[in-house]
Amino acid sequence: MAENGKPKLALYWAASCGGCEISVLAIHEKILDVAEAFDIVFWPCVMDFKVSDVEALEDGEIDVCLFNGAIRTDENAHMAHLLRRKSKVMVAYGSCAMEGCMPGLANFYDRERIMQFVYHDSPSTDNPDGVEPQTRTEVPEGELTLPGFWNTVRTLDQIVPVEYFIPGCPPEAKWTEAAINAIISGELPPPGSVIGMDVTVCDECPRERSEKKITRFYRPYEIIPDPDICLLDQGLFCAGIATRAGCGALCPQVNMGCRGCYGPNEGVVDGGARLISAIASVIDAKTPEEIDAVLDTLPDPAGYFYRFTLARSLMERTRLERQNGHKVARPLEEVPRLDPALKE
């Protein structure tokens, strides 16, 4: 608690697009209640805080930290460890922190392939000397440093213990508000809980469903869908059948299939595998050749099935390791987890 009796709140972004930061402001005038109820001690996206401000706090002095973004670099991990140590309650805010989301798609490649493409092979690269970023560079003024770029993108709870998860890319304002209200009132769910619902997007979707027998998939530009009929019934990929509800079925309501940003439901270990299983169950094909023919109409299946959950997937890196013929180094082995003495 601050001297003024208010709980202390920190907000931070790691490997993030910034959308989660904006979504916090999507609670509109409720943000004034947040400013009223909390002493905001760290929010570098919005105010000029320094890391040294956090370091100067006692361990556990921050009451709640809303942490968005995945863990991609040494700096992301350092801030996750630091904020974990300083915070009583750590919240993985948004899909990137919870499941890796878009940054996690980089796990289809390793660090070397990413560097090779970005700094050498991409059509827009102009780098005749083949320069790559270094973590330490001597210049006349001294040494410049950059955070190390990890081989594998990680979720927040793969790096530090996390009490609560708020899903979504980004989370809908009503869940941000629900979480803030729960914190203010002290009526928090048990640690480990996801703040949200545990039914699927289909349960919130107003479209009419019937027995699905998909013989081919269409790209969104290929057909004009009936506005009242389930998109999947019409052959448009929709992840709503295996995605946690909470957004109000936003995408299907504007003729776009759900892409799965709220992640899988409770108890699902691998969201992509669950989605593959759900979609497979509605394909109308009997022989392997027929199944292949239907799947051939689905472009980028890895992107469709693992768009948000690759960093948490059981299968992540396995394909790459098989392809390379050696184990891909894991940052969890390189970077120690939170000091056990600080776990509380």
Q: Which amino acid, 144?
A: L
CB of 219 to ligand SF4, least distance (A): 16
Q: In the complex with ligand SF4, which residue's Cβ is closer, 45 or 188?
A: 45
Contact (Cβ atoms closer than 8 angstroms) between residue 82 and residue 90: no
CB of 249 to ligand SF4, least distance (A): 6
Q: In the complex with ligand SF4, which residue's Cβ is closer, 37 or 173?
A: 173
CA distance 47 to 70: 21
Q: In the complex with ligand SF4, which residue's Cβ is closer, 57 or 249?
A: 249
Angle (deg, nearest 10), helices 173-185 and 30-37: 30
3-state secondary structure of 70: strand
Question: 73, 59, 17, 12: which is closest to 40 by C-alpha?
Answer: 12
Residues facing 137 on adjacent strands: 144
Q: In the complex with ligand SF4, which residue's Cβ is closer, 68 or 155?
A: 68
CB atoms within 10 A of CB 145: 12
Q: In the complex with ligand SF4, which residue's Cβ is closer, 160 or 232?
A: 232
CB of 186 to ligand SF4, least distance (A): 27
CB of 233 to ligand SF4, least distance (A): 7
- What are the residues binding ligand SF4 (CB under 6 A)? 16-17, 19-20, 68-69, 94-96, 101-102, 169-170, 201-202, 205, 207, 209, 230-232, 238, 240-241, 243, 247, 249-252, 257-262
Q: In the complex with ligand SF4, which residue's Cβ is closer, 57 or 66?
A: 66
Q: In the complex with ligand SF4, which residue's Cβ is closer, 204 or 270?
A: 204
The H or E element that residue 145 is part of is: strand 142-145
CB of 214 to ligand SF4, least distance (A): 11
Residues facing 283 on adjacent strands: 214
Question: 88, 66, 58: which is closest to 14 by C-alpha?
Answer: 66
CB of 217 to ligand SF4, least distance (A): 13
Contact (Cβ atoms closer than 8 angstroms) between residue 101 and residue 169: yes
CB of 206 to ligand SF4, least distance (A): 8
CB atoms within 10 A of CB 256: 14
